[in-house]
Amino acid sequence: MDLGPHAGFIVAAYAATAIIVSALVLWVVADYRELERSIAELEARGAKRRSDR
């Protein structure tokens, strides 16, 4: 596909979108895994909330 004389700007815009959206998704997923791991670790050591007892 011929994107014309400004192809570089179009490709850069889509690349920036891919990078920013990927970073956002990775951050949310990594944060979730880290939180689950930390909670599991504390619970394994016997920590329980009053509502869970």
Q: How far is the CB of 39 from other proteins (least distance, A)?
A: 5
Under the binding rule (CB under 8 A), the answer on residue 22 touching other proteins is no
Q: Does 44 bind other proteins (CB under 8 A)?
A: no
Please tell me whether residue 20 binds other proteins under the rule CB under 8 A: yes
CA distance 28 to 48: 25
Picking from 30, 49, 28, 24, the residue whose alpha carbon sits closest to that of residue 39 is: 49
Task: Report how far residue 26's alpha carbon sits from residue 32's, in angstroms, rounded to the nearest whole number.
Answer: 10
Q: Does 26 bind other proteins (CB under 8 A)?
A: no
- Tell me the helix, strand and coil percentages in the chain, rounded to 5: 85, 0, 15
Question: Which residues contribute to the site for other proteins (CB under 8 A)?
Answer: 1-7, 9-10, 12-14, 16-17, 20-21, 23-25, 27-29, 31-32, 35-36, 38-39, 42-43, 45-50
